[in-house]
Structures are given as structure tokens and as C-alpha cells.
Amino acid sequence: AKENQVFLNLDLEQWESHDITYQIFEDILLKPEFSDYSHVGIVVQAYLKHSEKDLERLLALAKRRGAPIGVRLVKGAYWDYELVKARQNGFECPVWTQKSESDIHFERLSRFLLDNIDYFQPAFGSHNLRSLSQAMVYANAKRIPKSAYEIQMLYGMAEPERKVLRARGHRVRVYAPIGELLPGMSYLVRRLLENTSNSGFLKLSHQDDVDPNQLLREPQLEKNSTTLKMPEGAPFDNCPLLDFTKMENRERFQKAVDDWVPKFPAKVPVVIAGEEQSGEHVFERMTPNDGKTAVAEVQLASVGQAEQAVQTAVTAYPEWREKPIKERADLLNKLADILERDRFELAALMCHESGKPWAVADADLGEAVDFCRYYACQALEELAPRKQGNVWGESNILSYEGRGPALVIAPWNFPLAILCGMTAAALVTGNSVIMKPAETSSLIAKELFDRILEAGCPSDVCQFLPGEGSKVGAYLVEHPQIAQIVFTGSKKVGLEIVEKAAKVQKDQPQVKRVVCEMGGKNAIIIDDDADLDEAVSGVVSSAFDFAGQKCSAASRVLVHENIYERFKTRLLDACKSVIVDVATSPSCVLPPVIDETAQKRLLDEIEMARKEHQLLFQGQVPADGFFVPVSVFEVQNERCRLMQHEMFGPVLGVMKVKDFDEALKIAGSTQFALTGAVFSRSPENLMRARQAFRVGNLYLNQGSAGAMVNRQPFGGFGMSGIGTKAGGPGYLMHFVDPRCVTENTQRRGFTPDLE
Ligand code: NAD
């Protein structure tokens, strides 16, 4: 731009890219080669609570570099988006919630620009004549020439206003999108909607004939504004995720990642009745990031230790069962507080041990916190003894109580959240627990276990038994005194557990109950009118986040033939942008897979698929670490292995379908029924999907992964699970025996109800 003497303006869009945009702008402008170039500008959005600080920062920058900066002052175009996103993520809302606050700030910021006219080239971008006039009047009073600032309007949006301003000698820059027709049109439509909204100046003045005096009066805060009330939180609110757009959070996270390094390899003992013990073997867990640094030395429990843990759990159970529900719920709330207190440390550990990228690890922690708080709320509500029936002379009280020792068998892919959720549910309902984490994620499991005890759980009520699934896991599943098994993992192991648990052993006191959540083969349907921006990014994140190692990950995409080629081109382009890196690096999108066995298995699967299907895309991966490249195949037949078998890696099958019906049919053609998604703008097809796309969690116009506790109770049916919904109503009922006590309250000649 400088070589050609072109004016370059940096636009601002969503708040999430605000900081980085300003940072880049500042970095570039401070380079000596650009320090005197004045044909550069940036946007300030008056609807941001941060906008005054933005201007102060720009002023300091202009003074430092010694040349003025163009500032395009606007109100901002993503108001509802920002509001909704902030609420969804639990972040502080970055925009003013009253429209008039944005107007007030626009005026204040205008004056700031004009007060510092030596350092700024202001451009007032608005169609609101009040907002523009106050700036012009103020400039006039300060004897600032009209040539020192400009007015900006959108092409075709406010022609009469533009003409008046031109006639009065103002510089009016009209701007218009250029480039492709359709994106340009959609931009114009968006602006049109915004400018013709009920509260917009153009509609009020041109359409509603509002009194000009009212339109032109100074904007004022509405005292009893009904414009917006943020929805109330409590009794349950999701734990806000970390806002990584904040430098402070990035720095703290990096420090937490670094702080772990000297502690490796950390020791993970067996813990029975509070006593740390060695196991019969030691398993050395390598980080998947390089495949050779040991992060943990895990003591693998023996069968004898498993037996000891069961006996402890059997003895501890009755007293724990009798505790008031409130006391057990308090334990969960305390645990949630502790997990939040240590969130950086725990999430950073998952980057090392499980290869979870920063934000994915943080979300894992957030979900663990959510499970604790949610089950605490649910226990108080759902497990409270209640009266049944409504007749005289009889009292009926229904209550719930724990069932006995619960064996919790967890997978490695949500190493904190799932283990925590299953354990918390079992504890709050009055069961003693034996935690059997996955071998590869034993260290984070131990960190959780320590915090469960710190929160006040008696050491005989919860015990920690790292070990081999096929050995101690299998032994415990068949143990007659285990009352229930809470399992999340693969279909193969899950079905084996269901079968073994069904067999009654000698001296077994009760029928075992199994809560069993298994795998998926999740499909995303792309309809012919889908918004491709959203569809492509939804597919890429659902398929490749955490290297496709989520049970909810998408592994099949079914694309309407009318849009197939366009979708395919864009999908493959997007695949190129997936950044492959170690999970400890903040730029990582595609981390390594969990271990060498998984890596080898996936590479074999990819080799096999290559023989049968056309490979559309394959990414590059580093030689060190257990990386598997993003691999996208074009598939002709939905019955093939690639479209039926859960791969659990970054492998995606893309298939062309002739219409929405065929897409639905193919989506439902596997034995799994866990998650699914549809991108479509047809209300009719979305409605059909609600009915006919039968999976535990269906997402319309968003990706297939990322369930939040309470908002999206999670779990599948078919061969994906028994149909329980973790993080949803009714889940705790799996962990209790209901009891009803009926008393005849009538005594001869006396019925209390009639008194
Ligand atoms: P996995 O089945 O290999 O192991 C899960 C757990 O079972 C581990 O703790 C393991 O040690 C133990 N185990 C293994 N063999 C056992 C046996 N014979 N008896 C008792 N326990 C045994 O699964 P994984 O590789 O850890 O996890 C990935 C799988 O989990 C995927 O299939 C994924 O879809 C599924 N998953 C499902 C959900 C869900 O909510 N539906 C969530 C996460 C993961």
C-alpha cells in the first residue's frame, strides 16, 4: 500500500479478534518503515465498552510514531451476536446493552477525535444525522476545517442525507463491497437489515415520521429500559470458559504449561483407604507430543489390591448412604470450587498427558466443574424425599438411596470431565466409589482424586485404582459386591461389561446396574441451501478438533449433490488451514493422537481406506510425536468400513447424496446413534431432521461436538449407549434405589387429615 500510496484501513469485526487486530496494527505502525505513513486507519466501535480505551491507545500510538492515524468511528455491527456469544460463553458482555449508550459514546468519542485532531484523521461512519451533526457542529466550534475529517456512508443507503452533506461542502466517502456478487449482496442485505431495524435512525426518520426534534435530541440513558435484560443465572450456570483473547489468560496458561515440565515424570500411586501403595507393575506414560518424554510413572494395581478396594468400599458404603443429601451436594460444590481454583494447572496437565490443545483442555476442565455443580443441584431437587398420592388416612413417602460400591471406569479422551462426572454422580447419590481411570490418563485422574479428598470426601468412600482395564477392570466388573458399573469407552469393552455384569455371581447380593456410554459414527448433513461458511467450519472443527478423538466427532459428511463440488472445494481449502502442532503450543489445532498404538492403528486404517476410496486430502505431520494426518476420502458406498466403523481419529468420509431423504437414510445406516448435525436453511428439512435423524444429540446449523452440561444433556442409544444422558435430568436416578414407605395414618375414630 505504501509503495502505491494507497490508503489502508483495518476493519474490526467480532470482539474476539479485537485485541489481536489492535496489536497487529500497533506492531506494524511502529516499524520504522511505516512510522511516517499517514494513509492508514483502523475502526473504533462505539458500542464496545472498551472503545474509549481504544481511542486512548491510538492517540498514544500516533504520538509515539509521529504521524496521524485514520480512525473510522462506527457504532458496530455485531451487537446481538456479541450479546448472545457472551452469554453462551459466560463472558462479560463487551457491548453496551442499551442502544442509547452506544449513541452517547459515539458522541463522546467524536469529541475526543476532534480534540486531538493533530493526531487523527477522523471518519464518522453513521447514517444517524444526530450523531453526524453533533460532530460537525463541534468541529465547527473548534474551527476545524471540513477537510480535516470525513463522513462515511454506505452506497445507496441514505442518498438524500448524502446529497445534503455534499451540498454543504462535506467530504462524504461512500463505500461499497467489491468482489464476488453473492458475498457482496449478503453484506448489503446485512447492512440493510441493520439500518432498517425498528430503532434505526433511517427507519424512524424516513418511514415512521418521528418528530425531528425527538430524533435530533441528545441521546439519553433510558432509566427503566426494557431494551434488554440478561437472562438470570442460577440455580445452575455453566462454568465460563477461559477467554483466550485476553493476554493475561494466555500468559497464565503458558506459565502453567511450563511449570509442569520439571515435575515430570510424576508418580501415580494406587490409593486404598487413604493409603498410597505401589502396584504390581509400573507403566511409564510418554507424552504424545514427542512420544519420548515420560510424564507419569503409573503404579498398576494388582487383583489383590482391587479386592482390598472393594472390601473398603463395602464397609464405607452404609455410613455414606445415610449422610444428608445436602452434605454430599456440598462436597460436590466444594470440589467444583477447587477445580476452578486450579484450572490453569489442571488444564495444562491435559496438554502434556493427553495431548489436548489449550482451549480443548480448558473446556474439559469447565465440564468437570459443571458436572459437580449440576449434580449437586439435581441431587437436592431430584433425590429429596417426596409425598406421593392424595388420599386421606395414608402417608406415602418416596425416597432414594445409594445402591452400594460403584465401579467407575473412564476413557482417556475426556480425562478429567468424564471421570469427574461419573464419580460425582455416584458419590452425591450415596454410593462408595472405586475410580478406575484409563491407563493413559492416570496422572490427571490422580490430580482429580486428590482434590476429591481435599473437598472433604472420606478416604474410604472414594478410592483410586489405576490399572489395566483388561485385568483389574475385568476383575471388578465380575465382582459380586460391586453394585453398579459406570462406564464410558469403546463399544467393544462396553458390551463386554454389559454381558459380564448380567451374570449373577455366587453370593451376589443384588442385580448389577450398568451405566454404559459408548462410541459413535457421527454424520453431518449438508443441504443444498446450507450456509457454506458455517457448514465448512462446522465440519472442520467437528471432525478434526482434538484430532477427531471425541465420541461426538463427525466422521461422515453427506452432501447434497447440488452443492457438492462447491462444498468439497471449500472443505479441502479449509483442511489446509488446520494447524498441526504439539498440544502444549497455543497454535495447535491438530494435536497428536493418544498413543503409539492408536497412531499405528489409524495409519493402517488410512492405508486400507486408500485402496478403496479416493483420497481427497491428506495433511502433513511432524516425524516426532504420535501424529496422524488429517485424511479426507471421497466415498461412494455408505456400507464400507470407513462409513461404519468408529475410527476415533482425524479421518473423514465425504459422500454425495441425491437429496435430503437419502442423506437422512444414510445418516441412520450405522449401528450407532450418538450425535449428528444438519446444515440447512430449509425450515421443512430441519423439521424433518428433528424427527427422522435419530441420535442422542442432534445439532441444527452447528457442529456435532461440544455438548454443555444442562444445555445439551449428552449420550446416545443404539450401540452408542444405554440411553442415559450425562449432565441432564434423570441421570442421577441410575445411581439410586427408590423406596416408598406407606403408613396407615388412620387410628380408630381419628384421621389426622380430617382434623
Ligand atoms: P476403552 O473402551 O478402550 O477404555 C475405556 C476404559 O475401559 C479404560 O479405563 C480401560 O482401561 C477400561 N477397560 C478396558 N478393557 C476393559 C475390560 N475388559 N473390563 C473393564 N474395563 C476395561 O475406550 P477408550 O479408548 O478409553 O475411549 C475411547 C472410546 O470411548 C471411544 O469409543 C469413544 O467413542 C468412547 N467415548 C464415549 C463417550 C460417550 O459419552 N458416549 C464419551 C467419551 C468416549
Q: What is the pLDDT of residues 246-273, one digit of tens each?
A: 889 999 999 999 999 999 999 999 999 9
Q: Is 641 helix (H, G, I), strand (E, B) or coil?
A: helix
- State the distance from the centre of ligand 1 to the C-alpha of 175, rounded, in angstroms: 57
More confident residue, 90 or 318: 318
Atom of ligand 1 nearest to the CA of 551: 34
Q: State the average pLDDT over residues 597-601.
A: 98
* pLDDT number for residue 180: 87
- State the distance from the centre of ligand 1 to the C-alpha of 692, rounded, in angstroms: 29
* pLDDT number for residue 555: 98
Atom of ligand 1 nearest to the CA of 411: 26
Mark out the alpha helices in 679-734 (DSSP H runs). Answer: 683-692
146-181 as b/e: b if 16+ CB within 10 A: eebbbbbbbeebbeebbeebeeeebebeeeeeeeee
**Pocket lining: 722 vs ligand 1, CB cutoff 6 Å:** no
pLDDT digits (tens, 9 = 90+) for 184-238: 888 888 888 877 777 777 777 777 788 888 888 899 887 765 556 666 666 799 9
**Pocket lining: 415 vs ligand 1, CB cutoff 6 Å:** no
Specify the amino acid at residue 696: G
Residue written as grid cell 448435525: 677
Q: State the average pLDDT over residues 340-368.
A: 98
Average pLDDT, the chain: 95
Rounded CA gap, 303 and 285, in Å? 21
551 an active-site residue? yes
| CA 514-383-746 angle, 5° bins | 120
* pLDDT number for residue 223: 74
* pLDDT number for residue 228: 60
Count CB neighbours of 2 within 10 A: 12
pLDDT digits (tens, 9 = 90+) for 508-542: 999 999 999 999 999 999 999 999 999 999 999 99
* pLDDT number for residue 202: 79
Residue 268 CA from chain centroid, whole number: 30
Atom of ligand 1 nearest to the CA of 520: 34
Question: Cell numbers of 43, please?
Answer: 475502526
Crossing angle (nearest 10°) for helices 358-382 and 417-428: 10
* pLDDT number for residue 233: 62
Tell whether the model's pLDDT for residue 97 goes beyond 60.
yes
* pLDDT number for residue 226: 53
pLDDT digits (tens, 9 = 90+) for 410-449: 999 999 999 999 999 999 999 999 999 999 999 999 999 9
Q: State the average pLDDT over residues 584-588.
A: 97
Rounded CA gap, 185 and 548, in Å? 36
Quick one: the chain helix, strand, coil %, rounded to 5? 45, 20, 35
**Pocket lining: 551 vs ligand 1, CB cutoff 6 Å:** yes
Of the residues 446, 488, 545, 695, which should be mutated to test ligand 1's pocket, given the most ligand atoms within 8 Å of the CB? 488
* pLDDT number for residue 611: 97
CB 128 within 8 A of CB 70: no
Rounded CA gap, 343 and 155, in Å? 49
> 606 φ, ψ to 5°?
-65, -40
**Pocket lining: 522 vs ligand 1, CB cutoff 6 Å:** no
Q: State the average pLDDT over residues 45-54.
A: 97
- State the distance from the centre of ligand 1 to the C-alpha of 536, rounded, in angstroms: 30
* pLDDT number for residue 407: 98
Residue 412 CA from chain centroid, whole number: 18
* pLDDT number for residue 162: 93
**Pocket lining: 413 vs ligand 1, CB cutoff 6 Å:** yes
Ligand 1, atom 8: closest residue by C-alpha: 438
Q: State the average pLDDT over residues 141-156.
A: 95
Which pairs from 606-611 meet CB under 8 Å and 24+ separation?
606/631, 606/651, 608/641, 609/633, 609/641, 609/642, 609/651
* pLDDT number for residue 723: 85
**Pocket lining: 496 vs ligand 1, CB cutoff 6 Å:** yes
- State the distance from the centre of ligand 1 to the C-alpha of 89, rounded, in angstroms: 29
* pLDDT number for residue 441: 98
Q: State the average pLDDT over residues 595-612.
A: 98
Is the bond preceding residue 235 a cis peptide, omega within 30 degrees?
yes
* pLDDT number for residue 90: 87
Q: Which of 551, 588, 605, 638 is catalytic?
A: 551
Q: State the average pLDDT over residues 1-16.
A: 93
Atom of ligand 1 nearest to the CA of 412: 26
Crossing angle (nearest 10°) for helices 442-454 and 343-353: 160
- State the distance from the centre of ligand 1 to the C-alpha of 490, rounded, in angstroms: 4
Question: Cell numbers of 496, please?
Answer: 463386554
Of the residues 490, 514, 518, which should be mutated to test ligand 1's pocket, given the most ligand atoms within 8 Å of the CB? 490
CB 677 within 8 A of CB 699: yes
Question: Cell numbers of 225, please?
Answer: 429500559
DSSP class of residue 721? B
* pLDDT number for residue 99: 86
Tell whether the model's pLDDT for residue 754 goes beyond 80.
no
Question: Cell numbers of 651, please?
Answer: 479421518
* pLDDT number for residue 157: 83
Sign (positive or negative) of CA dihedral 376, 381, 382, 384 = positive
Q: Which of 382, 439, 447, 517 is catalytic?
A: 517
* pLDDT number for residue 40: 96
Ligand 1, atom 39: closest residue by C-alpha: 517
Of the residues 471, 516, 518, which should be mutated to test ligand 1's pocket, given the most ligand atoms within 8 Å of the CB? 518
Task: Write out the DSSP string of 206-232.
Answer: IIS---HHHHHSPP---TT--S--PPP
| CA 634-636-641 angle, 5° bins | 85
- State the distance from the centre of ligand 1 to the C-alpha of 722, rounded, in angstroms: 15
pLDDT digits (tens, 9 = 90+) for 396-410: 999 999 999 999 999
pLDDT above 90: percentage of residues in the chain: 86
pLDDT digits (tens, 9 = 90+) for 679-724: 999 999 999 999 999 999 999 999 999 999 999 999 999 999 998 9
Q: Which of 454, 457, 237, 486 shows the shortest CA–CA distance to 328?
A: 457
- State the distance from the centre of ligand 1 to the C-alpha of 239, rounded, in angstroms: 26
Count CB neighbours of 549 within 10 A: 26
Tell whether the model's pLDDT for residue 343 goes beyond 80.
yes
**Pocket lining: 367 vs ligand 1, CB cutoff 6 Å:** no
**Pocket lining: 470 vs ligand 1, CB cutoff 6 Å:** yes
pLDDT digits (tens, 9 = 90+) for 155-194: 888 889 999 999 999 999 998 888 888 878 888 888 888 7
- State the distance from the centre of ligand 1 to the C-alpha of 486, rounded, in angstroms: 11
**Pocket lining: 488 vs ligand 1, CB cutoff 6 Å:** yes
Atom of ligand 1 nearest to the CA of 439: 11
Of the residues 268, 360, 407, 413, which should be mutated to test ligand 1's pocket, given the most ligand atoms within 8 Å of the CB? 413
Atom of ligand 1 nearest to the CA of 468: 11
Crossing angle (nearest 10°) for helices 51-65 and 99-115: 20
pLDDT digits (tens, 9 = 90+) for 319-333: 999 999 999 999 999
How many CA atoms does the CB half-sphere of 20 hold within 13 Å? Answer: 9
Tell whether the model's pLDDT for residue 309 goes beyond 90.
yes
- State the distance from the centre of ligand 1 to the C-alpha of 320, rounded, in angstroms: 28
Strands 675-679 and 522-526, sheet pairing: parallel
